[in-house]
Chains A and B, each alone.
Chain A
Amino acid sequence: MPKQIHLAAHFPGVNNTTVWSDPASGSHIEFDSFHEFAQVAERGKLDFIFLAEGLRLREQNDRIYDLDVVGRPDTFTVLAALAAVTERIGLTGTINSTFNEPYEVARQFASLDHLSAGRAAWNVVTSWDAFTGENFRRGGFLAQDDRYDRARSFLQTATELFDSWRGDEVVADKESGTFLVDPHPGSFAHRDRFFDIAGQFDVPRSPQGRPVIFQAGDSDEGRDFAAASADAIFSRHSTLEAGQAFYADVKGRLPKFGRTRDELLILPAATFVLGDTEAEAAELAQQIRLAQVSPATAIKFLEQLWNRDLSDHDPDGPLPTVDPVVGENTIARGRASVRMHRDPVATAQEWRAKAEAEGLTTRELIVEVTGRQSFIGTPQTVADTIDRYVQADASDGFILVPHVTPGGMAPFVDRVVPLLQERGVFRADYEGTTLRDHLGLPLRTTDRAAAAAS
């Protein structure tokens, strides 16, 4: 019996993967776009749709970054509305554990889970930057080293709130006049160095008990955090070898947290380009890459590594001869990727060597180093590749990121999904009603419920 593949659709985000200049590109903010996107994904029987989040508009060179899509709706609110226009598909929202409070986030996810009849999922992300903190009354108070500690505490606290109702308290018996069987439902108390809260949670237990928990961290600490407490990982490792290494590493961490291999799904982000022939797909992929990396965008990427103003640099000429400015990145703010350049001078050397060896201009180099699409080919070869990766334990499926809003998933849904269904590795229809059902994850029973049942 082959592994069943899990597939999700990521609503295109505020980065250069999204080609807003495409003639088919629609609004990123009108509800009609979200409605169409979700309905296409549900037509393909995908597991869930995924929304990212960023709580401050990105800046570069002290100005709001204007080359990519800018602006997005509130995650919870748009997911609640999508529950009205879809039936089965899961609704995954990215919510930051630094600029929120557990009581509020727990009641929002519990509410979303009720209102969607069990389709809510939470991608827990952390940040610490004072730049984003300027939008919040609590400010950017978190030391960088504290972010996983606070995230762990936040998730633990939220879990205690989700579990504070066992699920059998409300009987609503009109005859006897008993609404509740417990006079103190939802009681909780949590005290640690981040949260000191107590009282009664006000949302009764939701259909899934807890929302499905996603985690996206890639560091050693982030992997442990996910292995300890997540239901799924949203990873970046979409190639076969890197995927297998990540998969083996994270699944290998599960036993020390008392969990089995099938209790945590690994779902990398992946992009795709389809053509009627391999050559057509490759040609289209190159066109999309050039649209994603305009000359102006290439310079901005360059500045993110060089950490200095390079607005006069010629994108069609060679890389700069000056070295990057080492130290805190001050040129680009509100962007996670700049923190990945751990040794900018060495990276610049590698880029120069590559550009020289392959005869690449600055823009061509950026096109190369910022990544080609994960899956390029005919529907048949893309279906083959996805199936092969999943069966080879490079992942349990993929979170697909189309490059056009809102119709970008339609070619995949209409041409690749049927091939996977024919192979028997992807569902022909939804079998359950909740997202946990789709993902094959167990219902997380509460300690209290377990105690009550024993």
Chain B
Amino acid sequence: MPHPPIHLVAALDGAGWHPAAWREPGARPAELLTAGYWTDLAQEAERGLLDAVTIEDALQLQSDDPFVADDRTDRVRGRLDAVLVASRVAPTTRHLGFLPTAVVTHTEPFHLSKAVATLDFVSTGRAGVRVQVAARADTAVHFGRRDLPPLDPAAVADGPLAHELFDEAAEYVEVLRRLWDSWEDDAEIRDAATGRFVDVDKLHYVDFAGRHFSVRGPSITPRPPQGQPLVAALGHAEVPWRLIGRSADLGFVTPTDAADAARLVAAVRTEQAAAGREAETVHVFGDVLVVLDDDATAAADRLARLDDVAGSPLRSDAHVFTGTPGQLADLLLEWQGAGLTGFRLRPAVLPDDLEQITRGLVPELQRRGAFRAAYEAGTLRGLLGLGCPANRYANA
């Protein structure tokens, strides 16, 4: 192969990442809460041999303003729990990985651990979770268990609240990982002679005690097929990059160009080294929002039309790419050269831009020897070259 293979993840969210996506002819805005809609998207992603899909979530309604709720009536509002969407769709696919988003700020690590483990059982080894903090005060009020101050946009990335929430997220991931290991793989013995179903010496109290919470364990759910399902996180600044470096198998970053990609990869690698994880594989994928068409002018026209319908130009934390699948392949290969090992592509419109990825970009990358011709592994860890993790409690 002239290139090391690129990993591709499709980011699924509502009708797509452009606020006017739901008004496109192919959009299915009345079906966003149905199983059929998500099944079709996942099966399309699998036809394109993608590594995985992410599914966005939050414990609040969508808003055009990332910091407060809005009262717009011309945007998609309302959604389903992402872990349950993934679980509903997983049995209808065979190879695709699932990385549903889960908020860690207001939820119980014990519950999420067994949910992701169960997703791993349901999908026979294709589960992970993208962890996300929830800093907004109006989300905290949905739970009433902690007071968060009104969000200061200037301090979102690096203020004391960011430090607190991401430190807590790191503790949370540590608990997830310990609970996944809390059963050794051969703990279930079904020993008829002694009448014992499990070997209790192979079940482990995790006894986590951190600054934010303590959890006793073991999990009620045995160790999942992958041992450790994937943990992913998105980061735009040093504090979240630290979480990726300390805790994640897969980080999503938002480069603006190849040089920026190199800078972001270096930043994550610095945190990875600081956490003493140099020997581990931590993927860093670049997020790109894509508007694709068969020729570049048509793609630009599509974006202009969408912006016109939306009433304002598209804004995104990620680079917005407009062009052909071939041009996108050029960009991805260039950014790959800067150290990214894959990409999370955010389709502007579903299913249109997802189909451009699976039917346009993927064949283009395959022609260039930069993408798989068939699924080469049965698990998500396998697709990402992560191998079978040792159990931290085995032979302890």
Could you tell me which A residues sit within 8 Å of B by CB distance?
A: 20-21, 29-31, 35, 54-57, 63-64, 66-74, 76-78, 80-81, 83-85, 99-101, 103-104, 107-108, 110-112, 114-117, 134-138, 165, 170, 172, 174, 177-186, 195-200, 202-204, 294, 296-297
Contact = CB atoms under 8 A, between A and B. Distances in A.
Contact of A74 (B118, B188, B195, B213): B118
A71 B224 CA distance: 12
Contacts of A108: 81, 84
Listed from nearest, the 3 A-B pairs whose CB atoms lie closest are A137-B213, A183-B71, A134-B216
Interface stretch (B25-33, B232-240, B340-348): B25-33
A137 B91 contact: no
Main secondary structure of the interface of A (DSSP, over half): loop
Contact of B84 (A76, A134, A172): A76
B69 interface: yes
Contacts of B72: 183
B163 interface: no
Interface in B181-222: 183, 188, 190, 192, 194-200, 203, 212-218, 220-222
Given A57-B203, A73-B114, 9 more contacts: A56-B220, A66-B196, A117-B34, A172-B22, A179-B29, A179-B77, A180-B73, A202-B78, A203-B81
Contacts of A182: 73
B67 interface: no
A179 B200 contact: no
Given A30-B121, A31-B122, A198-B141, A203 B80 contact: yes
Contact of A178 (B61, B74, B194): B74
A115 B88 contact: yes
A358 to B, nearest CB: 25
A77 B229 CA distance: 15
Nearest to B121: A31
Interface string B50-77: 0000000011110000000101111111
A76 B115 contact: yes
B317 to A, nearest CB: 21
Interface in B133-150: 138-139, 141-145
A135 B58 CA distance: 24
Interface string B118-138: 110110100000000000001
B107 interface: yes
Contact of B220 (A54, A170, A179): A54
Given A55-B110, A77-B115, A84 B88 contact: yes
Contact of B215 (A71, A77, A135, A185): A135
A117 B88 CA distance: 12
Given A81-B122, A85-B91, A198-B141, A74 B115 contact: yes
Q: Which of A67, A103, A178, A199 has the most CB of B within 10 A?
A: A199
B198 A70 contact: yes
B319 interface: no
8 contacts: A64-B200, A71-B220, A74-B115, A74-B117, A111-B85, A135-B215, A137-B215, A178-B74
A52 to B, nearest CB: 11
B197 A72 contact: no
A23 to B, nearest CB: 10
A25 to B, nearest CB: 8
B372 interface: no
B61 A186 contact: yes
A80 B145 contact: no
Contacts of A178: 73-74
B362 interface: no
Contacts of B215: 134-137
B331 interface: no
B302 interface: no
Given A108-B81, A296-B195, A197 B121 contact: no
